[in-house]
Amino acid sequence: HQPLQPLQPVTPTPVAAEPEVPKKKKIQKPYILIGAGTASFAAAQAIKEKDPLANVIIIGDESVAPYMRPPLSKEIWFSEDPDVATTLRFKDWQGTERSVFYQDDSLYEILDDASGSDVESEKIKLLLNKPVTKLNVEDHTVTLADGSVIFYNKVLLATGGTPKKLPQQPESDQITTFRTIDDLKKLDKVVHSGARIAVIGGGFLGSELAVALANRASKQPDIQITQIFPEDGNMANVFPSYLTKWTTSRVRNLGVDVKTNNVIDGLQVQDGKVHLSLNAGSEELQVDHVVVAVGIEPRVDLARDAGLEIDEQRAGVMVNAELEARKDVYVAGDMVSFHDIQLGRRRIEHHDHAVLSGRHAGLNMVEPARVKPYRHQSMFWSDLGPEVGYEAVGLIDAQLSTISVWAKSTDQDTPASAPQEPHRHQTSSESAVAPPKASPSLADEKFGKGLVFYVRDRKIVGLVLFNVFGKVQEARDIVDAGLTSDKIDGLLNKFDLYSN
Q: Does 352 bind ligand FAD (CB under 6 A)?
A: yes
For residue 381, state whether it binds ligand FAD (rule: CB under 6 A).
Answer: yes
Cβ atoms 152, 31 nearer than 8 A:
yes
Sign of CA dihedral 48, 310, 61, 88: negative
Q: Which is nearer to ligand NAD, 209 or 306 (CB)?
A: 209
Work out which of 44, 47, 114, 158 binds ligand FAD, going by CB under 6 A: 158
State the burial class of residue 18 (Cβ atoms within 10 Å of its Cβ: 0-12, 13-18, 19+).
Answer: exposed
350 interacts with ligand NAD by CB under 6 A: yes
Position 430 contacts ligand FAD (CB under 6 A): no
Contact between 324 and ligand FAD (CB under 6 A)? no
Q: Residue 141 interacts with ligand NAD (CB under 6 A)?
A: no
**Partner from ligand NAD, ligand FAD, none binding residue 231, C-beta < 5-8 Å depending on class:** ligand NAD
Beta strands in 114-249 (DSSP E): 124-127, 132-136, 141-144, 149-151, 154-157, 161-163, 175-177, 195-200, 223-228
CB nearer to ligand NAD: pick between 2 and 402 = 2
The option from ligand FAD, ligand NAD, none interacting with 295 (CB < 5 to 8 A, set by class) reads: ligand NAD
The reply on whether position 285 binds ligand NAD by CB under 6 A is no
Q: Is 415 in the site for ligand FAD (CB under 6 A)?
A: no
CB 259, CB 228: distance < 8 Å: yes
Residue list 36-55, contact with ligand FAD (CB under 6 A): 36-39
Query: Phi then psi for 311, rounded to 5 degrees?
Result: -85, 95
Burial 281-315 (b: 16+ CB within 10 A, else e): eeeebebbbbbbbbebebbbebbeebebebbeebe
Q: Measure the CA dihedral 74/75/81/84, to 10°.
A: -60
**Per CB under 6 A, 205 contacts ligand NAD:** yes
Q: How far is the CB of 63 from ligand FAD (least distance, A)?
A: 10
Mask for 296-335, x = binds ligand NAD (CB under 6 A): x---------------------------------------
- Measured from the CB atom, is 202 or 497 closer to ligand FAD? 202
88 belongs to the binding site for ligand FAD (CB under 6 A): no
Q: Which residues pair with 22 in a beta bridge?
A: none
Task: Return the residue of 62, 92, 231, 391 that touches ligand NAD, per CB under 6 A.
Answer: 231
What's the CA gap between 35 and 58, in Å, rounded? Answer: 7
User: For residues 387-446, which are near ligand NAD according to CB under 6 A?
Assistant: 422-423, 426-427
> Contact 195/71 with Cβ under 8 angstroms?
no
Of the listed pieces 229-237, 270-278, 406-414, 454-462, which binds ligand NAD according to CB under 6 A? 229-237
Which listed option, ligand NAD, ligand FAD, none, makes contact with residue 293 (CB within 5 to 8 Å by class)? ligand NAD
Please tell me whether residue 295 adopts helix, strand or coil conformation. Answer: coil
Report, in Å, the least distance between residue 35 CB and ligand FAD.
Answer: 3
Distance from C-alpha of 210 to C-alpha of 187, rounded to nearest angstrom: 12
- How far, in whole angstroms, is CA 461 from its chain's centroid? 21
Helices (H), 281-350: 301-305
The 3-state DSSP class for residue 357 equals: helix
Give the three-state DSSP class for 35: coil
Based on the shown chain and the rule CB under 6 A, indicate whether residue 302 belongs to the binding site for ligand FAD: yes
* Residues 6 or more apart in contact with residue 21 via CB below 8 angstroms: none
Closer CB to ligand FAD, 140 or 359, in the complex? 359
Q: Which of 37, 66, 206, 362 binds ligand NAD (CB under 6 A)?
A: 206
Using CB under 6 A as the binding rule, whether residue 160 contacts ligand FAD is answered as: yes
Separation between Cα atoms, residue 448 and residue 410, nearest integer Å? 8
Give which of ligand FAD, ligand NAD, none residue 333 binds (C-beta under 5 to 8 Å, depending on kind). ligand FAD
208 binds ligand NAD (CB under 6 A): yes
Q: Quick check: 73 binds ligand FAD (CB under 6 A)?
A: yes
Largest CA distance in the chain: 80
Alpha carbons 103 and 45: distance in angstroms, whole number: 11
Q: Residue 48 or residue 299: which is nearer to ligand FAD going by CB?
A: 299
Report the distance separating Cα 366 and Cα 303, nearest Å: 21
Query: Pick from 75, 324, 334, 391: which binds ligand FAD (CB under 6 A)?
Result: 334
Grouping H, G, I as helix, E, B as strand and the rest as coil, residue 389 is: strand
By CB under 6 A, name the binding residues for ligand FAD. 34-39, 59-62, 69-70, 72-73, 131-132, 158-160, 178-179, 205, 299, 302, 333-334, 349-352, 354, 380-382
By CB under 6 A, name the binding residues for ligand NAD. 6, 73, 166, 200-206, 208, 229-231, 237, 264, 293-296, 349-350, 356, 359, 375-377, 380, 382, 422-423, 426-427, 472-473
